[in-house]
Chains A and B, each alone.
Chain A
Amino acid sequence: MNLWESVLVALEGLAANKLRSALTMLGVIIGVFAVIAMLAIAEGTRVQMMSSIQSMGTDVVMIFSGGGRRGGGGGPARGGFGSTQSLTLDDAYAIADDCPSVLAVAPEAGANAQVKYRSQNTNTQVLGTTADYPGVRNYKVASGKFFSNSDVRSSSRVAVIGYDTATELFAQLTPVGKDIRINGSRFRVIGVLAQKGSQGGFGNPDDQILIPVTTAMNRLFGLENVRMISARATASDTLTQAQEEITRLLRKRHRLASGAEDDFRIMTQTEFMSFANEAATIFSVLLGGVAALSLLVGGIGIMNIMLVSVTERTREIGIRMALGARRRDILLQFLVESVVLSLAGGGIGVLLGLLLVAWTGAFAAETLGSTPVVSTVSIVLSFSFSAAVGIIFGVYPALKAARLDPIDALRYE
């Protein structure tokens, strides 16, 4: 009996018990469906993080305090690496002045604060920086203007607010020229940033308030150190050079002995991407793993029903053997049956997964901050996984059938 005939026989066998076959398949359908949906969510998150990193530009590095080339482990969490706060505002100025390959520099120092406009209240991130921030971090000013270097020198109380913050505090009103209170101190709004769009993974770039770094450090929060420094190289191909210059300069300024580890860490877009990829992979594995578990449960369902089927059809097995079926023919028959069950379940699961992602994509984008993306890999993966489930959980019942003795099977009541 060839494979095609075996498939036909298997289909016949399954059709003889339609409801039972459908219910068994349901286990696999749900499993595959879950794998597809979960991996789509994970993939969507990854795509989101990637595009947000992409917008950083290939010619920008970010310098965090805290050391260790790669050890330590953690990602670029807010507030920088480790506990040692080694970067100062002067470091930032020195980088701008003394590194020829660095075009512009934007330090960041700040904290979350209570912000008020009249009766409107919100808690948001207040970030101190310098006039070069929009240039380095690719922000545009939608209305009004960004603060100048003289604002920074004089620690003036001026603020540029993000798009979402503006909407939240001012609704329809024009924010520019209004006074807001940050932790009780009065600031004059001089500009509103253009919308960047929500970017998963790194907070909302449209919900923040930018003020001169000196104001933030000295007047508002009393900080000694900056959290990080962004630096834009003169061009993409001077990035490595800029990185080297910054390293040399900072090691000198921090008086690090030649053997000592850096007490800062320079991250490029590439490094962020590999971090994000790593995080996304862990996310996929976790979500996919949970979903795979349900596929496993589906597999157990298949095994259960195949065992029942083998017992029920013991006489049929005996008859087939009496008519010349070899053990391997019987093995193949039942194995094909379970694989057909799981593959059909897998196919339907994939379809349902695709449909769900298509229908709820917009909704998911709102709640998760990212649109789920079904990758070909996840389809191939879950499909072959369900085939594997069919084989693995089908082997034992099929072996049980094939090992029967013809005469015992024929006599079975």
Chain B
Amino acid sequence: MISVRDLQKTYHMGDIAVRALKGVALEIGAGEFVAIMGPSGSGKSTFMNILGCLDKPTSGEYILDGFQVSGMSDDELAAIRNRRIGFVFQTFNLIPRRPAIKQVMLPMMYNPAAREVEACAVAALERVGLGARIHHRPNELSGGQQQRVAIARALVNNPAIILGDEPTGNLDTRTSEEIMAIFQELHAEGKTIIIVTHEEDIARHAQRIIRFKDGHIIVDEPVAARVAAREVLAKLPAEDEEEDA
């Protein structure tokens, strides 16, 4: 499904060239759940942004669903971001002052095939347990709730791949676990999921861990003892956060 070969990315800052990716090769099959780890500055975000078609590699090949992404036009890349990939950010990246439903409707505005936009948005919000918060604005939502809105937004055009760059990076343990529960459910439904994380606990929710160092992949291993978020949540002391999931 995803195949990259000798992917390189060099940032130029004045005279200094920063080599963020120094030849990354990787295959990720459909339906996999992958966690990417590695020290700060090792190139994880750079890699994710290229996978998400937000950025272009300096050289190398990126093949998505059999299509060469490297040579695509801006409009084709936009279409991929819109329909094939859902991106979840560490900082949520919601548009200020807009109710949740409007946030989730946004990707459908750029999708000519989208029908019953409002109903789909409500369904996506219910899917992430925010059915009762569809008219809340970002500043009226907790961090975890904002990230759920962002996930609903990433889901709404029904992409096969969900990418998350430290999706739980700004959240506490329990909320992180709730978000991971959603990712695991989506994975169970057949989506391909790739997340970046700094926490081993979070990474162990995935099936496979890829470790970056200094712009290279140094480890690529399956997860031995996989964690089920629902089970962890059940063991955590109950909090009276009223959820309608």
Answer whether residue B78 sits at the interface, using C-beta atoms and an 8 A cutoff: yes
Answer whether residue A410 sits at the interface, using C-beta atoms and an 8 A cutoff: yes
The interface stretch among A192-200, A323-331, A391-399 is A323-331
> In the complex, which of the residues B54, B107, B153 contacts A406, with contact meaning CB atoms closer than 8 Å?
B54
**Which residues of B are found within 8 Å of A323, using beta-carbon distances?**
81-82, 106-107, 110, 153
A16→B110 contact, CB < 8 A: no
> In the complex, which of the residues B81, B83, B95, B96 contacts A321, with contact meaning CB atoms closer than 8 Å?
B81
Q: What are the interface flags for A1-43 relative to B under an 8 Å C-beta threshold, 1 for contact and 0 otherwise? A: 1000100010000001000000000000000000000000000
A324→B78 contact, CB < 8 A: yes
- Which residues of chain A in 378-399 are interfacial with respect to chain B, using CB atoms and an 8 Å cutoff? none
Answer whether residue A181 sits at the interface, using C-beta atoms and an 8 A cutoff: no
Answer whether residue A407 sits at the interface, using C-beta atoms and an 8 A cutoff: yes
B143: min CB distance to chain A, Å: 17
> In the complex, which of the residues B83, B87, B96, B111 contacts A322, with contact meaning CB atoms closer than 8 Å?
B87
A67: min CB distance to chain B, Å: 70
A321→B78 contact, CB < 8 A: yes
> In the complex, which of the residues A315, A318, A320 contacts B106, with contact meaning CB atoms closer than 8 Å?
A320
A327→B75 contact, CB < 8 A: yes
Q: With A323-B81, A323-B82, A325-B110 in contact, do A410 and B54 touch (Cβ < 8 Å)?
A: yes
Answer whether residue A316 sits at the interface, using C-beta atoms and an 8 A cutoff: yes
Contact-residue bracket for chain A: 20 to 34
Answer whether residue A319 sits at the interface, using C-beta atoms and an 8 A cutoff: yes
**Which residues of B are found within 8 Å of A320, using beta-carbon distances?**
95, 106, 110
Answer whether residue B135 sits at the interface, using C-beta atoms and an 8 A cutoff: no
Answer whether residue B226 sits at the interface, using C-beta atoms and an 8 A cutoff: no
A327→B49 contact, CB < 8 A: no
B157→A410 contact, CB < 8 A: no
A322→B110 contact, CB < 8 A: no
Chain B interfacial residues counted at CB < 8 A: 25
A326→B93 contact, CB < 8 A: no
Closest A residue to B52 by CB, please name it.
A322
**Which residues of A are found within 8 Å of B96, using beta-carbon distances?**
316
Answer whether residue B55 sits at the interface, using C-beta atoms and an 8 A cutoff: yes
> In the complex, which of the residues B78, B87, B89, B106 contacts A326, with contact meaning CB atoms closer than 8 Å?
B78
Q: What are the interface flags for B38-57 relative to A under an 8 Å C-beta threshold, 1 for contact and 0 otherwise? A: 00000000000100101100
Answer whether residue B74 sits at the interface, using C-beta atoms and an 8 A cutoff: yes
> In the complex, which of the residues B55, B106, B111, B157 contacts A407, with contact meaning CB atoms closer than 8 Å?
B55
Q: Cα distance A326–B72 when bound, in Å?
A: 13
Q: Cα distance A328–B74 when bound, in Å?
A: 10
Answer whether residue B109 sits at the interface, using C-beta atoms and an 8 A cutoff: yes
**Which residues of B are found within 8 Å of A319, using beta-carbon distances?**
93-95, 106
A324→B93 contact, CB < 8 A: no
Q: With A321-B78, A321-B81, A410-B93 in contact, do A326 and B54 touch (Cβ < 8 Å)?
A: no
Q: What are the interface flags for B68-92 relative to A under an 8 Å C-beta threshold, 1 for contact and 0 otherwise? A: 0000001100110111000101000
| Most B Cβ at <10 Å: residue of A323, A328, A405 | A323
Q: Cα distance A5–B78 when bound, in Å?
A: 19
- Which residues of chain A in 324-381 are interfacial with respect to chain B, using CB atoms and an 8 Å cutoff? 324-329
Q: Cα distance A288–B211 when bound, in Å?
A: 70
A326→B95 contact, CB < 8 A: no
B82→A324 contact, CB < 8 A: yes
B49→A16 contact, CB < 8 A: no
A322→B55 contact, CB < 8 A: no
B83→A324 contact, CB < 8 A: yes
A316→B95 contact, CB < 8 A: yes
B54→A324 contact, CB < 8 A: no
Q: Cα distance A322–B75 when bound, in Å?
A: 12
Residues of A at the B interface (CB closer than 8 Å) are 1, 5, 9, 16, 315-316, 318-329, 405-407, 410
Residues of B at the A interface (CB closer than 8 Å) are 49, 52, 54-55, 74-75, 78-79, 81-83, 87, 89, 93-97, 106-107, 109-111, 153, 157
A sample of 5 inter-chain contacts (CB < 8 A) reads: A1-B110, A322-B54, A323-B82, A328-B75, A407-B54
The 3 A-B residue pairs whose C-beta atoms are closest, nearest first, are A324-B82, A324-B110, A326-B78
